[in-house]
Amino acid sequence: MSVELWIALLAGALGTYLIRLLPLLWMQRRLRHSRERAGTESMPAWLGVLGPMMIAAVLGVSLVPRVPDATGWIATLVGLAATLLTWRRTRSLGLPVIVGVATFGVMTLVRPMLG
Amino acid sequence: MSDHDLATSTAPAWLGGVRDSLPLLSGYIPVAVSFGLVATQAGFSSLETLAISALIYAGASQFVFVGMVAGGAPLWLAVAMTLLINLRHVVYAPNLAPWLPPSRWWPWLMHGLTDQVFALAHARLPQLAERQRVGWFCGAALLAWLSWIAGSLLGAIAGEWLMAQWPLLGEVMPFALPALFLVLVVPRFTSPRWALALCVCIAAALAFTLGGLANVGIPLAAALGGLCFFTLRAPRLPGAHR
């Protein structure tokens, strides 16, 4: 890899790191100021809403199956239903994911028979 | 482990973070292996692939970076596209900040703040005692980072062989990511207002992805969901003043 390419890689890495770091420093300063001046709104309301929305958006993006045909969508929906039902019973993090992946795996295996 | 168990656990906090981030691995490793394979096919060596994964550490933008470089695009444009794709990360740390106790480790740990680690931390940090949070985040973020690096290296060295041996595994394991995100989003459905806004957001992100706009789709869908949330008014109680 050429020196120019290494510089490009480091620029991409540093820029990505700063995108993650600088907003933290800004928010920490804002929180410190709001503690000093009691009663000031510490976090803007839109930011508090945007956090869960970003997670929901990443969920939406990840829902598209690798093979986006009818059976791929059915396998995704059944896998999600299994995940949801397990979460309702256990309210935990790991087990619903394991059950969801296993169900999706079974659906993927039987897909040739469905298709 | 339930939420109550998590807050009162006596196990080392970092171990809790490692345990919570385990589901991420089945999503991370197949994608990282794919990246390693794509990078070597684009002419990058194993060491260079490892450096990209360790230093940039942002899945989608890495694929774009190696694709643009291999395609002969100007390097400044490859860097600009990388940063543009990763710009969505700008809202992650401020959302976590209220739950981060003072520690000199946080600036360093921000390197590990990916979409998935953010989603996990946003759900878990509020449930933890303050003294556990740095350790928990350290365990979760480090495991995710190391698995991404190891997967990339594996893909660079043996990606072709792995894909030929277990093609189904590469198709099934990434389902861990939507399953995990679902488990992280579902507890947010606390009112019709939140439910509708979240559904709009998920549907919009899905539509953007089907239209080939996955990366731009994340912030756009989140903005649409937020707009929906603030447009909808919570029902006012009889006699309540505006």
Residues A5, A32, single domain; the answer is yes
List, as ranges, residues 125-164 from B with C-beta within 8 Å of A.
Answer: none
Q: With CB atoms and an 8 Å threshold, state whether A50 touches B226.
A: yes
Q: What's the pLDDT score for residue B7?
A: 54
- Asked if B152 contacts B30 with a C-beta cutoff of 8 angstroms, the reply is no
Q: For chain B, give the mean pLDDT.
A: 87
Residues A48, A27, single domain; the answer is yes
- Chain B CB contacts of A51 under 8 Å are 91-92, 95, 122
Residues A78, A26, single domain; the answer is no
List, as ranges, residues 83-112 from A with C-beta within 8 Å of B.
Answer: 83-84, 87, 90-94, 96-98, 100-101, 104-105, 108-109
Residues A58, A70, single domain; the answer is no
Neighbour tally for B54: CB within 10 Å: 16
Residues A36, A74, single domain; the answer is no
Q: How far apart are CA B93 and CA A22, in angstroms?
A: 9
Positions in chain A whose pLDDT score sits under 70: 1, 38-42, 114-115
Domain ranges of chain B: 3-173, 189-236
Range among B59-63, B82-86, B154-158 rated most confident: B154-158
Summarised one tens digit per residue, pLDDT across range B6-17 is 555 667 899 999
Among A62, A77, A93, give the residue marking a domain's end: A62
Q: What's the pLDDT score for residue A86?
A: 94
Q: How far apart are CA B57 and CA B103, in angstroms?
A: 23
Residues A39, A78, single domain; the answer is no
Residues A89, A53, single domain; the answer is no
Structure ipTM:
0.84
Q: What's the pLDDT score for residue B202?
A: 96
Residues A51, A21, single domain; the answer is yes
Q: How far apart are CA B165 and CA B171, in angstroms?
A: 13
- B69 pLDDT more than 50: yes
- Asked if B75 contacts A28 with a C-beta cutoff of 8 angstroms, the reply is no
Contacts of B202-207 with CB under 8 Å at 24 or more apart are B202/A56, B202/A57, B202/A59, B202/A60, B202/A63, B203/A60, B204/A57, B204/A60, B205/A56, B205/A57, B205/A58, B205/A59, B205/A60, B205/A61, B205/A63, B206/A60, B206/A61, B206/A63, B206/A64
Q: What's the pLDDT score for residue B193?
A: 94
Structural domains in chain A (count)? 2
Q: Which residue in A has a C-alpha nearest to residue B117's C-alpha? A: A55
Q: What's the pLDDT score for residue A11?
A: 97
- B148 pLDDT more than 60: yes
Q: With CB atoms and an 8 Å threshold, state whether B97 touches A5.
A: no
Mean per-residue pLDDT, B75-98: 88
- B138 pLDDT more than 80: yes
- B238 pLDDT more than 70: no
Residue A93's domain comprises 65-115
Residues A75, A56, single domain; the answer is no
- Asked if B103 contacts B76 with a C-beta cutoff of 8 angstroms, the reply is no
Residues A79, A48, single domain; the answer is no
- A40 part of contact set with chain B, CB < 8 Å: no
Closest CA to A80 of A64, A68, A57: A64
- B186 pLDDT more than 70: yes
Q: How far apart are CA A28 and CA B69, in angstroms?
A: 37
Residues A58, A7, single domain; the answer is yes
Summarised one tens digit per residue, pLDDT across range B17-49 is 999 999 888 778 888 888 898 898 888 999 999
pLDDT classification of B5: cutoffs 50, 70, 90? low
Closest CA to B97 of A22, A79, A84, A56: A22
Residues A27, A53, single domain; the answer is yes
Q: What's the pLDDT score for residue A42?
A: 64
Q: With CB atoms and an 8 Å threshold, state whether A58 touches B115.
A: yes
Q: How far apart are CA B214 and CA A9, in angstroms?
A: 23
List, as ranges, residues 169-198 from B with C-beta within 8 Å of A.
Answer: 171-186, 188, 194, 197-198
Structure tokens at B134: 């740095």
